[in-house]
Amino acid sequence: MHFKSGLELTELQNMNTPEDDTISNDSNDMIEADNGHISSKFIADRESRRSLTNSHLEKRKCDDYSPGTTSLGMSIFNLSNAIMGSGILGLAFALANTGIFLFGILLISVTLLSVYSINLLLTCSKVTGCMVYEKLGEQAFDTPGKLLVFGSTSLQNIGAMLSYLFIVKNELPSAIKFLLGEENNSLEWYVDGRFLVVIVTVGIILPLCLLKNLGYLGYTSGFSLTCMFFFLIVVIYKKFNISCPLPGLNGTIVNVTHDEMCEPKYFTINSKTVYALPTLAFAFVCHPSVLPIYSELKNRSQKRMQMVSHISFFAMFVMYLLTATFGYLTFYGNVHSELLHTYQDKNDMLVLTVRLAVIIAVILTVPVLFFTVRSSIFELARKTKYNTWQHVTVTVVLLAIINLLVIYIPSMKDIFGVVGVTSANMLIFILPASLFLKITKEDESKSKQRIWASAFLALGVLFSLISIPLVIYDWVNQANSGDGH
């Protein structure tokens, strides 16, 4: 997930990694040479690592080795930024359509599975010496592997951009109405979310995307995480200030008692339940940022990076659980697919402040993600030399496509659904397991780990086979019924 997930590809390519792909990235594994001779321990270690790799891995080398400089605490902050994203806004909706008990099981499961997939990714990086996801895919599966990683990471970033612009589409009209002090102006163009998305794209996002260097926008990730933490505090606070049944719902729901409307459900199955797991997967994807963060970790080792991932995922698990629980216990079955849009009080200055903070954060984050996708496209097309017309053309076309998707996608759950069952599933389950199985093919000492990785891969495939048809089926029903939520 994942405001920080939009790391610039050009920056990633300049990162230094071991020259010999058979040498570990762990600084503790580096044995100093004495009088120009390498110790026998280093030779034995290098030869043992070479025996772990397939012949096709020895044909290519990753970049030169360079020690990291980022502290453990800052690495935890960076990975937490990478995990955190707009997926947090859809978790209360997922809980409402699964129930507290089932949602808790799914949340714990996705958290643990995500941590395990990162461990697989770190192992692959250690064996091959690759610190860039695309290069790791190329090491294992040549060009098809590189294309698969490119497609998955690009779709994930595009999905994140869509979700951010969808927040603008939903929240900016409410903020403008509040600031203008007008209520009955829903037909005016300046409070139409579709027009506002286009205006924001042309006036703010497009100029930023046309710049050659967007590195300074990386600082917005800290602001984004702060906004989401503020959002969590407001969600908890509002739980104790909004009574149930909600104002405006009295008398509008027939044959539903107070207890039925305001009692939490612990286990729920309906047509929207299928979106729960994809939404959770979307919320936890941070895999494209793991290797860059790993490469910059001071005194890096697989064990230290695993500690970073464990702490980061536990922190986000707690934040996600609290947001989903208190959001659900505020609105129960009336929660929207985008939680912030559920707060409808037009005179609530606190909610308006949250809206404005989140809107600003996502607007400034979109160019970072866009820059990554565009750079990946140029790299794939081997267009490494800057060309103004190509730069402008690709930027305008991509932004136009993204805006059209945002305008015509009915709800945020559809974004979470399609990205969750495709790119998120690939990045969490299928790719890490496939890479691990390919890279450790000749390593007999990892037979037990390979069994677990095979089961992990099978789980990802099963998730796709079940979720994709169900999501498509719900789209068909939604189109027939005209349900926009």
> Residue for token digits 């509002």?
238
Going by C-beta distance under 8 Å and a sequence separation of 6 or more, which residues neighbour residue 470? 274
- Picking from 376, 401, 374, the residue whose alpha carbon sits closest to that of residue 147 is 376
Residue 27: per-residue pLDDT: 41
Indicate whether 455 pLDDT > 70. Answer: yes
Class of residue 479 by CB neighbours under 10 A (exposed 0-12, middle 13-18, buried 19+):
exposed
Q: What is the mean predicted confidence (pLDDT) over 387-396? A: 90
Residue 305: per-residue pLDDT: 94
Residue 121: per-residue pLDDT: 93
pLDDT digits (tens, 9 = 90+) for 213-230: 665 555 666 777 888 899
Domain 3-33+65-377+404-481 maps to which CATH number in 3.30.300, 1.20.1740, 1.10.1760, 1.10.1660? 1.20.1740
For residues 347-358, b (16+ Cβ closer than 10 Å) or e, as one string? ebeebbebbbbb
pLDDT digits (tens, 9 = 90+) for 131-141: 888 888 988 89
- Picking from 299, 266, 331, 289, the residue whose alpha carbon sits closest to that of residue 5 is 289
Indicate whether 204 pLDDT > 50. Answer: yes
Rounded to whole angstroms, the Cα distance separating 435 from 430 reads 8
Q: What is the mean predicted confidence (pLDDT) over 361-385? A: 82
More confident residue, 467 or 106: 106
Indicate whether 69 pLDDT > 70. Answer: yes
More confident residue, 40 or 113: 113
- CA 112-116-122 angle, to 5 degrees, is 145
Q: What is the mean predicted confidence (pLDDT) over 172-184? A: 76
Indicate whether 398 pLDDT > 90. Answer: yes
User: Is the Cβ–Cβ distance between 138 and 63 less than 8 Å?
Assistant: no
Q: Which of 57-66, 123-132, 176-185 has the highest mean pLDDT?
A: 123-132
- Give the mean pLDDT of the chain: 80
Report the run of H or E that residue 10 belongs to, with start and end. helix 9-13
Indicate whether 259 pLDDT > 60. Answer: no
* Distances 270 to 94, 98, 206, 307, 390 between C-alpha atoms, Å: 11, 8, 40, 38, 47
Residue 62: per-residue pLDDT: 63
Rounded to whole angstroms, the Cα distance separating 184 from 191 reads 11
